[in-house]
Amino acid sequence: QVQLVESGGGLVQAGGSLRLSCAASGSIFSINGMGWYRQAPGNQRELVASISRGGNAKYADSVKGRFSISRDNAKNTVYLQMNSLKPEDTAVYYCNADVVTTARALLGVWGQGTLVTVSS
């Protein structure tokens, strides 16, 4: 019905940058909030950044000043620009979207996850 496809993960050295992308497709009427979460081995999934349809963004304290979330509503895509990466940023990153379907149902949809590894 609705799918999120992520890309951009990989291996990067500490201090480097990476940009994640997440594109939604399917029976979409509109998308409200979108966000990025991450989960390191043995840890709980945590919110990294979120953005409203109007562009209001919020960040976890651990990434403020380093990460930037943005979206392109015409493309149903959300991005996460990650700068000054640290080893502790290593995790599987998941995209999330609150989607209003063409049937006017509200669905919370998750991407498959993309691995980000930051080496020292």
C-alpha to C-alpha distances, 58 to 4, 23, 29, nearest whole angstrom: 21, 20, 24
User: Tens of pLDDT along 38-66?
Assistant: 999 999 999 999 999 999 999 999 999 99
User: Tens of pLDDT along 60-104?
Assistant: 999 999 999 999 999 999 999 999 999 999 999 999 999 999 999
Contact predicate 15/30, CB 8 Å: no
